[in-house]
Structure 1
């Protein structure tokens, strides 16, 4: 039991360090892009966070950092923090207006790929809508940050049914210039 507490304490410290470094590494324009520039992922994720906070569903969650992995069933989740990487994947910012190639393979799919030469954290964002609800049923994104001190890559996806989050997954690595690469994984399945 004591090793579990140490593991989660190290995870919190590591994610806190990653969060601080990620904020320092990239600019975060606060102005949103004009309506219609990109899909409004931020509003969807904020709505999910609000809904999950009020429902407090049971979640089967797996978390890993390096070679350590833990699995637990819990209702005690800070949803704002848990889904923060999906908020970071939102590209609907004024400074990003001309930074992405847009593709609509069909009427239910939005794809955005960072243009060559652009230096923004979100490399790829794909959103697939449910044909009945017109709400996202799948969101996938790849985020990368690299500077002289720090490098990270985060691959995230979530699945929803009828507009409600059912599963989310985040994995990747983080590496400080003077340390070995550390891989991480978070996978959650909403049971209620």
Structure 2
């Protein structure tokens, strides 16, 4: 009897969970899977990266192998729009057979405003990804423009720039650029 009650309780709790669902296959390009694969490969390979970062007036450059790739490429994961709740939120465009463009409809309020994925003509893997993410509320506003380029299916360069602004302060520009050797 105890076990039956525990089983019913467990089934009831799992039925109440609502995991984030991805959009049906083919709705949007599967950016998440691609970026997760790149993160996994970069974590294994530990390549040398020449990284430049700036915030406001300050800027620094370093050469390192010690990078948390999940954190470094997080904005590219955030640019993934392949979620079921988003499936009607974007205008799709195919300027050519190797390019996907998604623009947020004017009636929608989602963080990813624009996403462009250009595929390599030989490998059909992304060769360039570009996205604009924007967050705005009564206390805070930010915009992040991200892009990356690949060579032979591997990320070779990535760039993030934008600004952050609290309602009562001036906007602070920031940028991060990495060149993978």
Whether TM exceeds 0.5 here: the answer is yes
Alpha-carbon deviations, 1:136-169, whole Å to 9, x = none?
Answer: 0000000001000110000000000111000000
* 1:161 equivalent in alignment to 2:151: yes
Counterpart-to-counterpart distance in 2, 1:95 and 1:120: 10
Counterpart-to-counterpart distance in 2, 1:60 and 1:70: 11
Counterpart-to-counterpart distance in 1, 2:99 and 2:148: 15
The residue aligned with 1:131 is 121
The residue aligned with 1:62 is 52
Aligned-pair distance for 1:177?
1.0
Aligned-pair distance for 1:179?
1.9
Alpha-carbon deviations, 1:88-124, whole Å to 9, x = none?
Answer: 0000000000000000111100000001110000010
The residue aligned with 2:101 is 111
Counterpart-to-counterpart distance in 2, 1:105 and 1:185: 29
Runs of 5+ consecutive residues of structure 2 not aligned to the other structure: 1-18
How many equivalent pairs are there? 163
The residue matched to 1:107 in structure 2 has which SS?
coil
Counterpart-to-counterpart distance in 2, 1:145 and 1:97: 20
Counterpart-to-counterpart distance in 2, 1:150 and 1:94: 27
TM-align CA RMSD: 0.8
The residue aligned with 2:10 is none
The residue aligned with 1:146 is 136
Counterpart-to-counterpart distance in 1, 2:20 and 2:45: 29
The residue aligned with 2:42 is 52
Aligned-pair distance for 1:178?
1.9
The residue matched to 1:185 in structure 2 has which SS?
strand
Runs of 5+ consecutive residues of structure 1 not aligned to the other structure: 1-28
Counterparts in 2 of 1:1-192, with a 5 A limit? Answer: 30-191=20-181
The residue matched to 1:80 in structure 2 has which SS?
helix
